[in-house]
Chain A
């Protein structure tokens, strides 16, 4: 066997034939897209203001950063490091909103779900709060907090909180009364109830709620930055669009989608896999 055959067989053994096939097939549209994109710039089908050149988008990343003094200044969020400033602002808000919103939502949701009458009473509240999408809260948030980071943080916090509250409440309500009664008969107190029955029982709802609310929250954050923010990726693409700087807009859009794909694929989906799939709480047929 020639060396090519040997390496090819080695690669197939390492990665799996179906995986290679899926990867190769899946990259065809991307190659076609990038090819047409480049062809557009070389042949000039559409003016560059509508579809920028591939190279221009790549360079825009560096143009935005050119006044940045040093790598240390990037992390200190120096004023001139525009691109990294925006990226870090958005990510900081996501992290902060997740840090505050997730525990609050889960806590209040479980609390509300514990008492049957209270949860029946609060269910319309949850339904109504969820039906006012996070984006519709933006003008009210601007009235309360002005234009700035507080508004954007509030919007994402709001979106995460209500979705998790509702999901946690429904999750706790769905736990069969048998489990509650069994823990109580064995002499458990309220803490045992919460940690041994309610929390694990509501876990599928909560984890699914975390994944959904982060998705909705991220989109609402971008919208809030567009309308009522002063920094962040949403703000960057909105203002660049007003200046018709389409390379920056494309760059921002690609970054937004990459950040979400990375978060979902490497943070949220594994979270779901390691908790509720591994513990057998939900069955996802393949």
Chain B
């Protein structure tokens, strides 16, 4: 790949040439400033970049922003981990036996189309506006992508490998451990990325709807209290957090897993 060269250039870190990114950001902020300066009531409709920056500094000084940010991230991590921990075994179970997957596939399809957002009012009636509700919504949303991915991954493991291991006298457990799980690992990685993406969207929506403290709540109350700078700050943070998560954690995880475990057919 890189012949063992350990030098990290800025281009590697950012994925695009640095000058490109810097130019785009400067242009966007400039455009923003112009639009904000030309409308009549900027503080309400489109605060200038300066106002948003001041608001962010103010919130960091007062310890508000780190608290909200970490609350949201903690919910994301816990929800994702539980969702993956439930979804991966379920998908493997379904992928082993054709009959079992034929039984559960249609109902999983049905429940997947009831998105986490639509199931939120039902869960709110059961558990009220609490952290458990948000966690339940995150779990619901993140379960299906990973289950379906693992199911298709387990099914795509070529029969030769399964038969080869069986002829060598492997027990069911060995088959799962040595053939199915490694064979499905690329799909597990892709499915994890999709699932955590859905979970992130669900965290923000859940916080907005259930009124729990976090980034989603921050933008919702910002709109309520007429602090549009807070709303825009929250949106920028949501976007940047997802970009960092996706480009530095999830995509490398997927790429590195496929690189190590992907079968030749890919």
Contacts and interface: CB of A to CB of B under 8 A. Distances in A.
User: Would A and B touch once assembled, by the CB under 8 A criterion?
Assistant: yes
Interface string B16-33: 100011011100100000
A67 to B, nearest CB: 23
Interface string A229-271: 0000010011011001010011011001100110010000000
A226 B231 CA distance: 18
A234 to B, nearest CB: 8
Interface string A203-247: 000000000000000010011001100000010011011001010
B36 interface: no
B103 A25 contact: yes
A22 B98 CA distance: 10
Contact of A222 (B107, B117, B220, B240): B117
B251 to A, nearest CB: 12
B220 A264 contact: no
A250 B201 contact: no
A253 B116 CA distance: 10
B173 interface: no
A221 to B, nearest CB: 10
B239 A50 contact: no
A132 B238 contact: yes
A125 interface: yes
B35 interface: no
B114 interface: yes
Contacts, number: 145
Given A26-B105, A29-B107, A133 B121 contact: no
Nearest to B99: A25
A202 B243 CA distance: 25
B96 interface: no
B243 A131 contact: yes
Contacts of A70: none
B125 A49 contact: yes
B28 to A, nearest CB: 7
B205 to A, nearest CB: 5
Interface residues of B, number: 53
B171 interface: no
B201 A222 contact: no
Contacts of A25: 99, 102-103
Given A124-B21, A128-B239, A139 B117 contact: no
B239 A132 contact: yes
Contacts of B223: 139-140, 142-143
Contact of B106 (A26, A136, A257): A26
A23 B255 CA distance: 37
B263 to A, nearest CB: 13
Contacts of B105: 26
B119 A253 contact: yes
A128 to B, nearest CB: 5
Interface residues of A, number: 53
**Most chain A CB within a 10 A radius of its CB, from B25, B107, B117, B234:** B117
A273 interface: no
A264 B113 contact: yes
B24 A121 contact: yes
Nearest to B127: A50
B236 to A, nearest CB: 8
Interface string A138-170: 111011100000000000000000000000000
B44 A50 contact: no
B16 A135 contact: no
B149 interface: no
B30 to A, nearest CB: 13
7 contacts: A26-B106, A135-B204, A139-B219, A139-B222, A222-B115, A226-B117, A256-B118
Given A138-B208, A226-B121, 20 more contacts: A25-B99, A26-B102, A29-B103, A29-B104, A29-B106, A30-B106, A30-B110, A124-B25, A125-B24, A131-B243, A132-B238, A135-B204, A139-B223, A223-B117, A226-B209, A241-B125, A249-B122, A252-B118, A253-B121, A256-B115
Interface of A: 21-22, 25-30, 33, 49-50, 120-125, 127-129, 131-133, 135-140, 142-144, 219, 222-223, 226-227, 234, 237-238, 240-241, 244, 246, 249-250, 252-253, 256-257, 260-261, 264
